[in-house]
């Protein structure tokens, strides 16, 4: 399959045609690039799983143009809890995904066998234009091969999915750079399944009690149950995380396995050539925006490993950064 890349400003009409024909289109959102298909059609949604190499039990996020399109009347949900209304009012369009009881209007494949559906109204002009021009809900996971780093530019999408997607809309670099916050409000206590730019603090402020439901299973424990392990959002090169206190250990490792890459907040720690030091910003939003691009760059340098200094800051978006870093890496050996 030939992969066409079109500038977003001029490619939206064509993209909507592809989607109407049941084809896939990769498009920018404010978080990461998505791989979209008509969420009402089994044949179209099946192509997403095939292109990504994604296990069919892993459900997809359904994107809508307008918060009103999420309610039961639109056939996407069976029930629209009051807390969904509150969160949608406050944070949509934006980087928040709500898990609610599924309605009859969607392909069952988007839910991966669950009785719920994940919904998001993205806050990006190209995603918005595409959803409106297409005129229906779009299932869209991140536009990467399953398990690897999410793309934050059209070039990243191409590197992941060349020959597997017929059309990529190029809308430049994503502003946020990490995937949306996912909150499950289908049960009694709202539960954050994936932290993101809409922080736990912001959610608590809006609706009160919110619990954390992230489970980070250690890699070695999960060998017996593929699909459940925590390694995700990962570069191809083996990546190890270490804390500031483990810096001597990291230096030792680097000396033995030359050359390695080092991902560190500017000036905190540094490795001289032949190693590659990627200097990350100290500001949380800038760090988030730069993270996936930095991991990809490090991946292209022919390094023996990537060593990641875990930021020690707490709260705000650092939670999402730490979550993705933990999933992208293994603990430093030794």
Residues of the shown chain interacting with ligand TXA in the complex, contacts defined by CB under 6 A: 29, 31-32, 34, 58-61, 97, 99, 111, 114, 116-118, 120, 122, 140-142, 179-180, 182, 193-194
Cβ-based nearer residue to ligand TXA, 200 or 271: 200
* CA-atom Rg of the chain in angstroms: 20
153 binds, among Mg ion, ligand TXA, none (CB under 5 to 8 A by kind): none
When CB distances are held under 5 to 8 angstroms depending on the partner's kind, the choice from ligand TXA, Mg ion, none that residue 31 binds is ligand TXA
Asked if residue 165 has a cis previous peptide bond (ω within 30° of 0), the answer is no
**Of 142 and 326, which CB lies nearer to Mg ion in the complex structure?**
142
Distance CA 206, CA 84 (A): 11
Comparing CB distances to ligand TXA, the nearer of 131 and 260 is 131
Closest CA relative to residue 94, chosen from 135, 128, 117: 128
CB of 297 to ligand TXA, least distance (A): 21
Give the number of other CB atoms < 10 A from CB of residue 212: 12
- In angstroms, rounded to a whole number, what is the distance separating the alpha carbons of residues 121 and 88? 8
Pick between residue 11 and residue 151 the one whose CB is nearest to ligand TXA. 151
What does the alpha-carbon distance between residue 18 and residue 156 come to, in Å, rounded to a whole number?
21
CB 294 → Mg ion: shortest distance, Å? 18
Q: Which does 20 bind (CB under 5 to 8 A by kind): Mg ion, ligand TXA, none?
A: none
How near is the Cβ of 93 to Mg ion at its closest, in Å?
Answer: 20
Cβ nearer to ligand TXA, comparing 39 with 278: 39
- Show the tokens assigned to 326: 């933990």
The minimum distance between CB 18 and ligand TXA, in angstroms, equals 17
Residue nearest to Mg ion (CB): 142
Instruction: Tell me which of Mg ion, ligand TXA, none is bound by residue 109, counting a contact when its beta carbon lies within the kind-specific cut-off of 5 to 8 angstroms.
Output: none
Structure tokens at 147: 């398990």
- Smallest gap from residue 269 Cβ to ligand TXA (A): 30
> Which among Mg ion, ligand TXA, none contacts residue 29 (Cβ within 5 to 8 A by kind)?
ligand TXA
Residue 305 binding target from ligand TXA, Mg ion, none, CB below 5 to 8 Å by type: none
d(CA 119, CA 121) in angstroms, rounded, equals 7
Q: How far is the CB of 115 from ligand TXA (least distance, A)?
A: 8
Backbone angles phi, psi at 215, to 5 degrees: -120, 120
Centre a 10 Å sphere on the Cβ of residue 322 and count the other Cβ atoms it contains. Answer: 18
What is the four-CA torsion angle of 191, 147, 289, 29, rounded to 10 degrees? Answer: -80
Q: Are strands 4-7 and 167-170 parallel, antiparallel or unpaired?
A: parallel
* CB of 103 or CB of 293, closer to Mg ion: 293
Q: How far is the CB of 185 from Mg ion (least distance, A)?
A: 21
Dihedral, CA of residue 288, residue 289, residue 291 and residue 297, to nearest 10: 180
Q: How far apart are CA 101 and CA 114, in angstroms?
A: 9
| Cβ proximity to Mg ion, 12 vs 60, nearer residue | 60
Q: What residues make contact with Mg ion under the rule CB under 5 A?
A: 142
| Partner whose binding site includes residue 60, from ligand TXA, Mg ion, none (CB under 5 to 8 Å by kind) | ligand TXA
Contact 187, 272 (CB under 8 A): no
């Amino acid at each position: 399959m030939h992969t066409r890349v079109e500038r977003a400003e001029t490619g939206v009409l064509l993209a909507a045609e592809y989607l109407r024909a049941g084809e896939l289109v990769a498009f920018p959102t404010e978080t990461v690039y998505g791989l979209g298909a008509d969420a009402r059609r089994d044949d179209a949604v099946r192509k997403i799983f095939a292109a990504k190499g994604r296990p069919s039990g892993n459900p997809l996020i359904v994107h809508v143009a307008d918060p009103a399109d999420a309610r039961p009347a639109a056939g996407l949900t069976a029930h629209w809890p009051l807390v969904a209304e509150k969160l949608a009012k406050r944070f949509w369009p934006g980087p928040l995904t709500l898990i609610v009881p599924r309605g009859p209007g969607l392909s069952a494949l988007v839910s991966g066998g669950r009785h719920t559906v994940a919904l998001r109204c993205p806050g990006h002009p190209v995603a918005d234009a595409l959803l409106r021009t297409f005129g229906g809900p779009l299932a869209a996971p991140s536009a990467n091969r399953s398990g690897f780093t999410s793309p934050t530019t059209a070039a990243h999408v191409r590197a992941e999915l060349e020959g597997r997607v017929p059309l990529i809309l190029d809308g430049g670099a994503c502003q946020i750079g990490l995937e949306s916050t996912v909150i499950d409000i289908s049960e009694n206590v709202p539960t954050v399944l994936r932290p993101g730019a809409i922080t736990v603090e912001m959610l608590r402020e809006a609706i009160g009690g919110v619990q954390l439901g992230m489970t980070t299973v250690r890699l070695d424990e999960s060998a017996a149950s593929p699909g459940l392990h925590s390694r995700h959002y990962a570069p191809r090169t083996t990546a190890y995380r270490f804390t500031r206190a483990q810096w001597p250990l990291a230096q030792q490792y680097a000396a033995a396995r030359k050359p390695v890459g080092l991902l560190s907040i500017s000036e905190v720690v540094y490795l001289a050539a032949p190693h590659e030091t990627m200097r990350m910003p100290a500001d949380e939003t800038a760090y988030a925006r730069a993270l996936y691009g930095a991991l990809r760059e490090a991946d292209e340098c022919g390094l023996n490993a990537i060593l990641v200094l875990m930021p020690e800051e707490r709260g705000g978006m650092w939670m999402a950064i730490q979550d993705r870093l933990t999933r992208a890496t293994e603990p430093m050996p030794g």
